[in-house]
Structures are given as structure tokens and as C-alpha cells.
């Protein structure tokens, strides 16, 4: 019998009323705003109402460097959340909301997988409570205010060639990457070149995720820099009188969403910042609520430990004041074999037979990436737990190879079958997480606040990426000097680079050392509160492939959604 689809599994479980999920978390009904029976918003008052309750252990789920085969961070996060109940512990999950662009592009959904999913998966993947649309609207309102300011005479002296604020849309649409606005007659605006990014890449999304209160949200929106004058002076959303209206649009979106897993573990879903040019983590407000609602709060960081986890440690934790107790590093046999460089993997084509054959030596050959990512977690003083996300075609000898690699570095390791067995398959993993959380915490940042921007960049590049040197283009040097002069030097850095390598070169596999990281350009997300150096070409508006998921998502004869995965 074939394994059922994710959508079939999701529909096989009746969700509990969301009010019951909230009650099990100890959240009073007065703090919940229901959106139907299965989804709710949590009022911001819950942050203070729960603050005196015991603090849960804080666990971040990260991974080795992604491969085309996928590592399963979300599925593993859900598996851990469900598995905790099997060992007598209460867990709460805190996850990002999926972007509809990738849902209709290549992913087809991002609710987990198999028997470790968030439900209702259709709502999670499609609109949910409209937070992404609110971010889109707030961002584009500021874009309209920028162009209106130019049309009305440009009193602030914005230099047209130095306007950094673009527009956003939650779709994958390569035709919008570069556009010209203001064409037509004189009343149609000032012609200039700009473009669209995907909504997840909006600084407004990063602001939503990093804000700690409605007041903090309003202040951060005001600090957003939309461009510079010819004298290199920043022009902000506050100066354009746009921040107040943006905050009004985002007032409801700042409230975290509450859902559940297949086994009724509470899931706080909130925000969805892009993992390349932003920190790629769910919201601080969601975590501040969840940390007081169970024994363990499990959250997830985007891409590999060199990206999402590094930013979780150095950006999110800096803003939240919360320190993690353990980090789960997800790996698969197939992905480690791919990191060996021995196999050619082509999307849409069958995997090489040799990759699927039993060969623990190939696992060891790809071990360098896992070893470096374990080191990246330990660099921040956090206890690592390697989660082997098991597939049916794996061999015990290959699982043992991963165990040997991880244990040689002092990391705990467990094989987990949560995809096929749900929480029961994650029991060993959960026990390892509990043990890691019981160790004394020695959390530390990779660099101090008062380091210069270049010192921060070089700390991440050398310590986390294994680089031998960092170089800067003339433009990047000019931009860094400008940001230091404008008082942005105390902000953390969020290095925008490829997710396909620990280095900034996507062709370098494993764990390269001694390479050079070249900073091509530097931008400042002053409202969100970080500076992001750009290494290489960053795609902030994805395109659709030859056979996008959108071509297969539809309604059946009963009006039910089909094609999500």
C-alpha cells in the first residue's frame, strides 16, 4: 500500500477546537480571537499576562547546508513537538508562516510532512489570517508615499538613483524584478527604475518578526530608511509621515496565530522573513508567549546553521533577550552523501542508484559539512543534538556512521522516524533534547555590539564560514563608511549569501576553509535593526519553474483543495 499524501494525512485528523488548544497552554479565553474553529489570534496582552509563569526550555531547530534532497527541518520540529508528549513533557512550537510564492512555485506547501504536520495545512499554506497581505499593503503604502513625495516636489531631496525602497508581492514573478514606474504623462509620477521583491523579503516582514510590542513596531517602522540624499543623509518612513499608517495596517498582523499539529501540540505561527537577506526566524512576540506555555518551546531557523541559526543567535536572541538551551541539527543520510560531491543530483530526475545503495563510507565522505555545522552551534555555547531524519531506504550502517561523526564531536545524536510514525518516532530524539537542555547554558554571541561593522562581518565570515579573508568592493566600503557615520554601526550584521554552501560560493561543497568572502554591496535594514552585506547575487524575487506547483493546485468536484503537498 502506498504512503498517503500529506494532504490526505492532514485531512484524516479532526482538529480540536482551537479554544481547547489555548486552554491547554494556560491562555485565558479573553486573550484569544478565534478565526473559525481551527485558528486563532493571540492578543498581545498575553505577553504580560503570562510573564510570571515558569520559563520553558528553548530549543532551535537548524540543519546542515541544504541540498536538493531536503533535510526536513519543519517536519523534524513538528516531530519533536509531538514527541515530547510521548515522554511526559509539554511542548509548544513557534514557526514561520509559509509564503504563498514558494507554495505555488516549487514547494507546494510548507506545513511539515507525513505524520508530523501543522493543521489545517490548507489554511496554513494559503492566506491563514492575512498577515502576509498586511505586510504587503504596509510595504507598498510606503512605496506609494515615496513616489508621491517625488511627485510633490521632493522636499527631502531624495536622490533618484539612491532610493533603496522597492515594492513587494507574495508571488514568484521574475518579470517584476526590474521595472520602470511613472511612465505616461506628467500626472502619472516621476519616471524611475525600481522593482519588486517577494513579500517575505520585505524589511516590514523582518520588523514584524523582531518587534517586541505595538510601540516597538511603530518605532521600528519610523526608522526604516527608504533612500539617501545627495549628501548621503538617510530619509526615513517617519520623515515621509508614512509610519503611522503602516502601523495601523499591521496592528492585527502583530498578533501571533495559533494552530495545532496532527497530535494537537500547540503551534504559534507568526511572520515569515526571508532566509537570504533577513534573519529567517519566526517572531519574538510568538516566542515570548510560547516560552511560558509548556516545558519546551521549539522554534526553527531557516536554511543551514551557518545562516538561520547564526542569525537566530546573533540577531533574534540579541533583540529578544532570550537564550537557547539546545540546538537540533537536522541531517539525512542522502543529504550527507550528496555533500560528498560524488553524485550528480538533477531536480525532477530519479536519484542515482549508487546514492541509494548502502555505503557508510559515502556518509563519512560528506561528513565535513555536518562537522562544521556542529562546530557553528558550539561556537555560540549551545549544546547540539544531531537529528537523523530517517528515510525508508536508509541503512542502519549509514545511521551508525552519522552517530559516530556526531559523537566524536561531543554531540548527542538520535535517529527519528517522525515522518512515518509521528511523535512516537521522535521519542529518542526528544530524550536527547531533554538531556541537552539540562546541561548548563553558556550562550554567547559571535561578536560584541560595539565592534565595527567590518569586524562583525569578519567575525561571522572567519568563525562561521571558515573564510580566510574578507574583501570589499569600493561601493561596499563607501556604504559601510556611510552607515558608520549615520550611527548604524552598533547594529548586528545579516550576511546575505548563498544557502547552498557554508561559503559565499555555491560551488564550494562540504566545509571549505581559507576561501575569500567578497562583499559586493551593503544595505541597511535600520527599522528591522540589522545591516546586511551582500555576497554574490541574491534572488529576492523568485521565478516559476517549467512545471510550477500552481499548475497542479486546484479545486475538486466537491470544492475541496487538491494539489498541496
Domain with residue 529: its CATH number is: 3.10.410.10
> Cα 156 to chain center, whole Å?
35
Those residues with Cβ within 8 angstroms of residue 309's Cβ, 6 or more apart along the chain or in another chain: 60, 62, 301, 327, 376, 377
Question: In terms of domains, do 420 and 526 share one?
Answer: no
In this structure, are 19 and 48 located in the same domain?
yes
CA angle 526, 531, 532 (to 5 degrees): 130
Are residue 148 and residue 120 in the same domain, yes or no? no
Same-domain pairing of 246 and 257: no
Residue 444 maps to a domain? no
Q: C-alpha grid cell for residue 386? A: 544531531
Question: What pTM does this model have?
Answer: 0.96
Is pLDDT of 509 > 90?
no
CATH number at residue 292: 3.40.50.300
* pLDDT value of position 423: 98
SS3 7: helix
- Domain CATH number, residue 145: 3.30.1510.10
Query: Residues 292, 386: one domain?
Result: yes
Looking at residue 345, the DSSP 8-state letter turns out to be -
| Same domain as 11, residue 35 | yes
Average pLDDT over residues 320-347: 92
Domain count, the chain: 3
CA separation for the pair 427, 385 (Å, rounded): 13
What is the rounded distance in angstroms from the CA atom of residue 427 to the CA atom of residue 425?
6
Q: For residue 500, is pLDDT > 70?
A: yes
Same domain, 295 and 215: no
Task: Return the pLDDT at 345.
Answer: 83
Structural domain harbouring 302: 6-129+253-437
Q: Looking at the structure, tell me whether residues 320 and 337 fall in a common domain.
A: yes
Q: Which grid cell is 161?
A: 538613483
Report yes or no on 563 lying in a domain: no
Separation CA 163–CA 155 (nearest Å): 15
pLDDT attached to residue 341: 87
Last residue of a domain, one of 191, 222, 250: 250
Q: Give 311's Cβ-side CA count (13 Å radius).
A: 31
Query: Of 134-148, 256-270, 332-346, 363-377, which gets the smallest average pLDDT?
Result: 332-346
Residue 447 resides in a domain: no
- Indicate whether 412 belongs to any domain: yes
Same domain as 420, residue 341: yes
Residue 156 has pLDDT above 90, yes or no: yes
Question: Do 349 and 403 reside in the same domain of the chain?
Answer: yes
Residue 565 counted as domain residue: no
Reported as a single tens digit per residue, the pLDDT across 456-493 is 999 999 999 999 999 999 999 999 999 999 999 999 99
Q: How many CB atoms lie within 10 A of CB 351?
A: 16
Give SS3 for 117. strand
Q: Which of 276, 196, 178 is nearest to 536 (CA)?
A: 276
Whether residue 246 is contained in a domain is answered as: yes
Given a cut of 60, is residue 235 above it in pLDDT? Answer: yes
- Residue ending a domain, among 390, 412, 437, is 437
Same domain for 102 and 54, yes or no, is yes
Residue 546 lies in a domain: no
Picking from 6, 23, 163, the residue whose alpha carbon sits closest to that of residue 98 is 6
Q: Are residues 25 and 90 in the same domain?
A: yes
Give the DSSP per-residue string, 258-313.
EEEETT--EEEE-----TTTS--B--HHHHHHHTTSSSEEEEEBSSSIIIIIHHII
Cβ 291 vs Cβ 56: under 8 Å: yes
Residue 392 counted as domain residue: yes
Amino acid at each position: 500500500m502506498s504512503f498517503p499524501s500529506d494532504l490526505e494525512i492532514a485531512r484524516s485528523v479532526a482538529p480540536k477546537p482551537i479554544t481547547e488548544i489555548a486552554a491547554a497552554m494556560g491562555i485565558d479565553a479573553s486573550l484569544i480571537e478565534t478565526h473559525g474553529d481551527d485558528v486563532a489570534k493571540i492578543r498581545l496582552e498575553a505577553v504580560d499576562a503570562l510573564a510570571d509563569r515558569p520559563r520553558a526550555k528553548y530549543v532551535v531547530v537548524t540543519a546542515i547546508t541544504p541540498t536538493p534532497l531536503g533535510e526536513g527541518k519543519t517536519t523534524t520540529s513538528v516531530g519533536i513537538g509531538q514527541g515530547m508528549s510521548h515522554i511526559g513533557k509539554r511542548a509548544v512550537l513557534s514557526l514561520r508562516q509559509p509564503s504563498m510564492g514558494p507554495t505555488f512555485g516549487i514547494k507546494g506547501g510548507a506545513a511539515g510532512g507525513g505524520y508530523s504536520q501543522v493543521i489545517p495545512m490548507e489554511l496554513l499554506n494559503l492566506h491563514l489570517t492575512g498577515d502576509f497581505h498586511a505586510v504587503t499593503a504596509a510595504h507598498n503604502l510606503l512605496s506609494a508615499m515615496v513616489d508621491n513625495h517625488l511627485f510633490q516636489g521632493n522636499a527631502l531631496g531624495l536622490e533618484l538613483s539612491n532610493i533603496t525602497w522597492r515594492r513587494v508581492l507574495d508571488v514568484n514573478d521574475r518579470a517584476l524584478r526590474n521595472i520602470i514606474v511613472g511612465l505616461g504623462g506628467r500626472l502619472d509620477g516621476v519616471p524611475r527604475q525600481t522593482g519588486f521583491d517577494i513579500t517575505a523579503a520585505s524589511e516590514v516582514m523582518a520588523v514584524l518578526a523582531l518587534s517586541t510590542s505595538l510601540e516597538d513596531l511603530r518605532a521600528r517602522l519610523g526608522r526604516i530608511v527608504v533612500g539617501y540624499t545627495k549628501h548621503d543623509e538617510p530619509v526615513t518612513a517617519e520623515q515621509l509621515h508614512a509610519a503611522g499608517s503602516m502601523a495601523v495596517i499591521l496592528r492585527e498582523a502583530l498578533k501571533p496565530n495559533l494552530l495545532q499539529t496532527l497530535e494537537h501540540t500547540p503551534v504559534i505561527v507568526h511572520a515569515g522573513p526571508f532566509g537570504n537577506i533577513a534573519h529567517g526566524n519566526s517572531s519574538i512576540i510568538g516566542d515570548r508567549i510560547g516560552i511560558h506555555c509548556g516545558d519546551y518551546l521549539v522554534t526553527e531557523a531557516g536554511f543551514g546553521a551557518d545562516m538561520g541559526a547564526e542569525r537566530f543567535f546573533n540577531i533574534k536572541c540579541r533583540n529578544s533577550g532570550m537564550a537557547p538551551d539546545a540546538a537540533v541539527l537536522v541531517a539525512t543520510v542522502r543529504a550527507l552523501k550528496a555533500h560528498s560531491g560524488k553524485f550528480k543530483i538533477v531536480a525532477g530526475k530519479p536519484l542515482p542508484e549508487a546514492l541509494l545503495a548502502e555505503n557508510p563510507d559515502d556518509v563519512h565522505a560528506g561528513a565535513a559539512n555536518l562537522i562544521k555545522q556542529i562546530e557553528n552551534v558550539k561556537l555560540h555555547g549551545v549544546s547540539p543534538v544531531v537529528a537523523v531524519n530517517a528515510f525508508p531506504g536508509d541503512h542502519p550502517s549509514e545511521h551508525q556512521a552519522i552517530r559516530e561523526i556526531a559523537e566524536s564531536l561531543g554531540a548527542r545524536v538520535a535517529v527519528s522516524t517522525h515522518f512515518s510514525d509521528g511523535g512516537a518516532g521522535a521519542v529518542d530524539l526528544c530524550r536527547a533534547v531533554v538531556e541537552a537542555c539540562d546541561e548548563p547554558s553558556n550562550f554567547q554571541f559571535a561578536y560584541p555590539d560595539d565592534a565595527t561593522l567590518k569586524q562583525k562581518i569578519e567575525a561571522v565570515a572567519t568563525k562561521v564560514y571558515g573564510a580566510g579573508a574578507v574583501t570589499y568592493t569600493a561601493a561596499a566600503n563607501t556604504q559601510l563608511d556611510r552607515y558608520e557615520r549615520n550611527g548604524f554601526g552598533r547594529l548586528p550584521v545579516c550576511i546575505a549569501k548563498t544557502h547552498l554552501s557554508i561559503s559565499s560560493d555555491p560551488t564550494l561543497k562540504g566545509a571549505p576553509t581559507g576561501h575569500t568572502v567578497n562583499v559586493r554591496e551593503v544595505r541597511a535594514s535600520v527599522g528591522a535593526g540589522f545591516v546586511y552585506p551582500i555576497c554574490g547575487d541574491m534572488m529576492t524575487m523568485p521565478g516559476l519553474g517549467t512545471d510550477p506547483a500552481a499548475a497542479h493546485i486546484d479545486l475538486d468536484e466537491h470544492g475541496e483543495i487538491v494539489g498541496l503537498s
